[in-house]
């Protein structure tokens, strides 16, 4: 895909073609949320620079046609505890963002898993674009023994007001859940849950019509079996009933996953995810994954219908009606 950079006010806007275009931009592991009428995406990596995994950035759009870079949120050098494990190198990936009390909370993975276990951190900001201030210590620091502390996602239950942290994947493919303290940067307690069928990593939770949906990625991140599956429950901590796959590879795109769901201001739903722009073939794939956005539909009984991946002018635009 070709991109051009254009000055937009005091910032720099990443402008694509005249029509909306999937894939939207290079990146992976996107966490998306609406702030007003603007969709914000917080990915691993992103456009405009050589692929980076030592800092996080954000991008926003009002129409899914033009994206505005929001600058650096936090970098590895801003995290004082990152070198305490003595590992020779550290990388940041898979951010998740939550908001409460007018503040924004950025949860993130610090790895790799070897030679020391991965950890999960949290940083706080007064604005979605930051700057984010690290909390001063890891939030989850007990990886290993069949658990890899990666892919954090925080869900604030609209019924109880409680905040839950979901994390885990890859090494051990184990899901763990914690209730956070009121400050959103401490653990109140861990809640024992059963790992659902076909879980690998990238958990995401949303609620709709009194049902809680736990969705997640299955398979190898760099191969065609990577896909999105989901389970449902009557509470944010299960027990979960497996419902099946909803996003899988097709003839033009491979390994879609590590997604987030987001409800538009008009009440519709989108899925924001990454994928490989290529046809079927054996992995491991190399190169750069791409962020894509597609519409999400529910059956009358609440089931999530299979997602159809789109390209170019067939991609959704905002406002979505």
Query: What is the spatial order of strands in the sheet that 91-100 belongs to?
Result: 91-100, 103-111, 119-125, 133-134
- 218, containing H or E segment: strand 211-218
**What is the secondary structure of 185-215 as a DSSP string?**
SSEEEEE--PPPTT--EEEEEEEETTEEEEE
Half-sphere exposure of 147 (CA within 13 A, CB side): 14
From the list 29, 129, 134, 148, the catalytic residue is: 29
From the list 151, 201, 277, 294, the catalytic residue is: 201
* Catalytic residue flag (residue 29): yes
Give the Cα separation of 3 and 219 in Å (integer): 31
Burial bucket for residue 154 (CB in 10 Å: 0-12, 13-18, 19+): buried
Give the Cα separation of 187 and 165 in Å (integer): 9
Give the Cα separation of 218 and 198 in Å (integer): 6
State the catalytic residues. Answer: 29, 201
């Amino acid at each position: 895909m070709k991109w051009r950079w254009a000055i937009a006010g005091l910032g720099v806007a990443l402008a694509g073609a005249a029509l909306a275009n999937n894939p939207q931009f290079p990146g992976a592991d996107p966490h998306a949320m609406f702030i007003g009428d603007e969709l914000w995406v917080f990915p691993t990596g992103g456009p405009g620079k050589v692929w980076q995994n030592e800092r996080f950035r954000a991008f926003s759009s009002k129409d899914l046609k033009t994206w505005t870079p929001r600058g650096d949120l936090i970098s590895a050098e801003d995290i004082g505890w990152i070198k305490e494990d003595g590992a020779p190198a550290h990388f940041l990936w898979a951010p998740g963002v939550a908001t409460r009390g007018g503040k924004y909370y950025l949860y993130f993975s610090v790895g790799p898993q070897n030679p020391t276990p991965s950890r999960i951190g949290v940083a706080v900001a007064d604005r979605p674009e930051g700057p984010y201030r690290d909390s001063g210590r890891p939030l989850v620091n007990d990886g290993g023994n069949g658990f890899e502390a990666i892919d954090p996602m925080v869900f604030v239950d609209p019924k109880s007001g409680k905040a839950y942290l979901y994390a885990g994947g890859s090494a051990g493919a184990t899901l763990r859940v914690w209730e956070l303290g009121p400050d959103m940067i401490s653990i109140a307690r861990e809640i024992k849950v059963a790992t659902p069928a076909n879980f690998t990593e990238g958990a995401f939770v949303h609620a709709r019509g009194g049902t809680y949906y736990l969705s997640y990625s299955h398979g190898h991140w760099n191969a065609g079996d990577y896909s999105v599956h989901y389970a449902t429950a009557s509470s944010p901590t299960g027990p979960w009933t497996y419902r099946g796959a909803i996003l899988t590879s097709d003839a033009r795109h491979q390994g879609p996953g590590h997604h987030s769901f987001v409800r538009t201001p008009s009440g519709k739903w989108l899925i924001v995810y990454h994928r490989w722009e290529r046809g079927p073939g054996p992995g491991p794939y190399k190169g750069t994954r791409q962020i894509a956005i597609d519409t999400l539909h529910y059956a009358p009984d609440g089931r999530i219908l299979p997602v159809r991946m789109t390209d170019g002018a067939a991609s959704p635009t905002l406002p979505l009606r």
